Amino acid sequence: MTEEEGKGNSGKDPGTLKRIKLVVSYEGTNYCGWQVQPNGITIEEVLNRTLSELLGEQIQVIGASRTDAGVHSLGNVAAFDTESRIPPEKICYALNQRLPEDIVVQSSCQVPGNFHPRRCYSEKTYEYRILNRKIPIPTLRRDTYFYYRNLDLLKMQRAAAYLEGEHDFKSFCSVRTSVEDTVRKILSCTVEREAQDKIIIRVTGTGFLYNMVRIIAGTLISVGAGERTPESIGEILEKRDRSQAGPTAPAHGLTMIGIQYRDSDILFL
Amino acid sequence: MTEEEGKGNSGKDPGTLKRIKLVVSYEGTNYCGWQVQPNGITIEEVLNRTLSELLGEQIQVIGASRTDAGVHSLGNVAAFDTESRIPPEKICYALNQRLPEDIVVQSSCQVPGNFHPRRCYSEKTYEYRILNRKIPIPTLRRDTYFYYRNLDLLKMQRAAAYLEGEHDFKSFCSVRTSVEDTVRKILSCTVEREAQDKIIIRVTGTGFLYNMVRIIAGTLISVGAGERTPESIGEILEKRDRSQAGPTAPAHGLTMIGIQYRDSDILFL
């Protein structure tokens, strides 16, 4: 299975092909993001190479969330087709033996042949982690964005509430993309304090635009720092203009938490 | 100030010397522990070199907890003497500009000339972090010990209670040390679950033997896994024999959390 109509399956027998779904966790620090690209190593590339070696056939995965360079994951999803007779549930263990320690497959299972990580209905959850104190903590530097100025949690929570529901998120989409329909649905957007000095923004939605969660995080931080009011979020949405929202928060604070698929949609696509 | 009677102060004017206390956090992954040694870079060495460059005089710190290779810290304490006119509270900011990103000084302040990080009465707190699930998580691999088998939290908590109080901890001391008095006082030893799959052992005491917290962690893990009973801890203590306790848990799960000194003891030593 490749991005489009299975051109990577050339030479494989459709009768014995199984579609496998992987749940993939990684620390993004040392990768140029998910998607294969010419100028650096990516998660997708390492998975393709390691799966191909393990299964003895050419494998090309399709990822659900094509995370940016530096973004981490607990539960990204990838799928591929294979003729292998290794029991699907065992593939993850064999794979983890060969993967580098910053990529770990949490589970593997067979799914119906019409399952597609991006085209099937799904609810994706992301977390943006902020360390809000005067001096950084070394052990948190790779997956938590250090922010010096004091953040007002209540204001951030009030601002987050404006983002929930179906909206045109054009103001929260990188201009480096040409997507036309910028309406998306955020099922929940919460801001919580963890321990004394960590603030966690958690966003669940049915689809996200390019850089959307990082722009949401940057805008909520800007509200928390007192640069904007919580109420301004409504206006920012209305204006449909990227320059109205806050900055794109750094990639390393973002973690793809997990993806829920509705089994019924997969079976009857 | 050096380990003994200030032999490192040669050439410094006692009249203008200030003793400075640092609170030092670090990720221990890339260091051969705290203490200067010939075969690898250490936290102490990096602090000595960076402070000497910053202050323009030969500086030698004394550390409170000489942590092993791979052990992390949020609040280890170091002290040194200086003739510098930089305001003591500002030293940490200037120092952090020059330190590598895996060592960060949380604070600096002047203390009385008789303050000694190890000789003054103190209460030290350590945490041992365990990730208890079937498959590891990449972002946690440096500061959390991954343990596959299911751990019984209640049993670990009952076992931990036996360790509180004043005991002869010879069974919980590495044999690679020649210390004679092995009686120590544990003020508290708790075991808590964090999120779903993390178990945190937290130990506070007025003094610790070599590898003591890691042997405590290894023994509590062994109880949690059902290899020993919680009640066996009493017998292990009584036998005063290292081979009776569990294994020394890996260094990277351990973090030096912080050290409390009693100001009155520092002033009237």
Confidence of residue A266 (pLDDT cuts 50, 70, 90): low
pLDDT-above-90 percentage for chain B:
87
Test A25 with B141 for CB contact under 8 angstroms.
no
- DSSP 3-state percent helix, strand, coil across chain B (nearest 5): 30, 30, 40
Give A125's Cβ-side CA count (13 Å radius). Answer: 14
* Residue B152, pLDDT score: 98
Give B164's Cβ-side CA count (13 Å radius). Answer: 13
For residues B205 and B258, give the distance between their C-alpha atoms in angstroms, rounded to a whole number: 11
Do B199 and B192 form a contact (C-beta atoms < 8 A)? yes
Residue B25 has its nearest CB partner, among A74, A104, A138, at A138
* Residue A181, pLDDT score: 95
Residue A4 has pLDDT above 90, yes or no: no
Whether residue B165 lies within 8 A of chain A, CB to CB, comes out as: no
Whether residue A164 lies within 8 A of chain B, CB to CB, comes out as: no
Residue B269 has pLDDT above 50, yes or no: no
pLDDT digits (tens, 9 = 90+) for A83-132: 999 999 999 999 999 999 999 999 999 999 999 999 999 999 999 999 99
Using an 8 Å CB-CB cutoff, list chain A residues near B26: 138
Do B235 and B244 form a contact (C-beta atoms < 8 A)? yes
Give the single-character DSSP code of A20.
E
Q: What is the ipTM of this complex?
A: 0.91
Whether residue B223 lies within 8 A of chain A, CB to CB, comes out as: no
For residue A157, the surrounding DSSP H or E stretch is helix A153-163
- Give the minimum alpha-carbon distance from A72 to chain B in angstroms, rounded to a whole number: 8
A79: left (phi over 0), alpha (psi -120 to 50) or beta: beta
> What would the mean pLDDT of B3-12 be, rounded to a whole number?
52
Using an 8 Å CB-CB cutoff, list chain B residues near A138: 25-27, 72, 101-104
* Residue A1, pLDDT score: 52
pLDDT digits (tens, 9 = 90+) for A140-193: 999 999 999 999 999 999 999 999 999 999 999 999 888 899 999 999 999 999
Whether residue A109 lies within 8 A of chain B, CB to CB, comes out as: no
Residue B10 has pLDDT above 60, yes or no: no
For residues B1 and B62, give the distance between their C-alpha atoms in angstroms, rounded to a whole number: 8
Residue A6 has pLDDT above 50, yes or no: no
Test B104 with A138 for CB contact under 8 angstroms.
yes
Q: Which residues contact A214 (CB under 8 A, 6 or more apart)?
A: A68, A128, A248, A249, A250, A251, A253, A254
pLDDT digits (tens, 9 = 90+) for B242-260: 999 999 999 999 999 999 9
For residues A232 and A116, give the distance between their C-alpha atoms in angstroms, rounded to a whole number: 37
- The overall average pLDDT reported for chain A is 93
Do B19 and B1 form a contact (C-beta atoms < 8 A)? yes
Whether residue B11 lies within 8 A of chain A, CB to CB, comes out as: no
- Give the minimum alpha-carbon distance from A53 to chain B in angstroms, rounded to a whole number: 22
For residue B156, the surrounding DSSP H or E stretch is helix B153-163
Q: For residue A247, which phi and psi values (nearest 5 degrees)?
A: -70, 160
Confidence of residue A5 (pLDDT cuts 50, 70, 90): very low
> What would the mean pLDDT of B2-17 be, rounded to a whole number?
60
pLDDT digits (tens, 9 = 90+) for A188-242: 999 999 999 999 999 999 999 999 999 999 999 999 999 999 999 999 999 999 9
- Give the minimum alpha-carbon distance from A104 to chain B in angstroms, rounded to a whole number: 7
Chain A from 12 to 71: CB within 8 A of any B CB: 25-27
* Residue B45, pLDDT score: 98
Residue B17 has pLDDT above 80, yes or no: yes
Q: How many CB pairs under 8 A join A and B?
A: 56
Whether residue B142 lies within 8 A of chain A, CB to CB, comes out as: yes
Burial class (CB in 10 A: 0-12, 13-18, 19+), A188: middle
Test A138 with B106 for CB contact under 8 angstroms.
no
Whether residue A98 lies within 8 A of chain B, CB to CB, comes out as: no
| Residues of A classed as catalytic | 68
* Residue B1, pLDDT score: 52
Test A102 with B72 for CB contact under 8 angstroms.
no
Residue A3 has pLDDT above 80, yes or no: no
Pick from B95, B135, B148, B192 the residue to mutate for testing the A interface (most A CBs within 10 Å): B135
Residue A138 has its nearest CB partner, among B92, B103, B136, at B103
The tokens of A265 are what? 């949609």
Q: Minimal CA–CA distance to A74: which of A20, A28, A121, A142? A: A28
Strand partners, B166: B185
Whether residue B103 lies within 8 A of chain A, CB to CB, comes out as: yes
For residue B139, the surrounding DSSP H or E stretch is none
Confidence of residue A70 (pLDDT cuts 50, 70, 90): very high
Residue B57 has pLDDT above 70, yes or no: yes
Q: Minimal CA–CA distance to B248: which of B115, B71, B86? A: B71
CA dihedral A173, A174, A178, A180 (to 10 degrees): 10
Q: Find, in chain B, the residue whose alpha carbon is nearest to that of A72.
A: B139
Q: Minimal CA–CA distance to B122: which of B269, B24, B18, B19? A: B269
Strand partners, A26: A73, A103
Q: What residue has token string 């993309």?
A: A177
For residues B190 and A260, give the distance between their C-alpha atoms in angstroms, rounded to a whole number: 36
The tokens of A95 are what? 């794979």
A213-241 in b/e form (b: 16+ CB < 10 A) is bbbbbbbbbbbbbeebebebbeebbeeee
* Residue B5, pLDDT score: 42
Do A209 and A179 form a contact (C-beta atoms < 8 A)? yes
Using an 8 Å CB-CB cutoff, list chain A residues near B135: 92, 96, 104-107
* Residue B264, pLDDT score: 59
Test A104 with B135 for CB contact under 8 angstroms.
yes
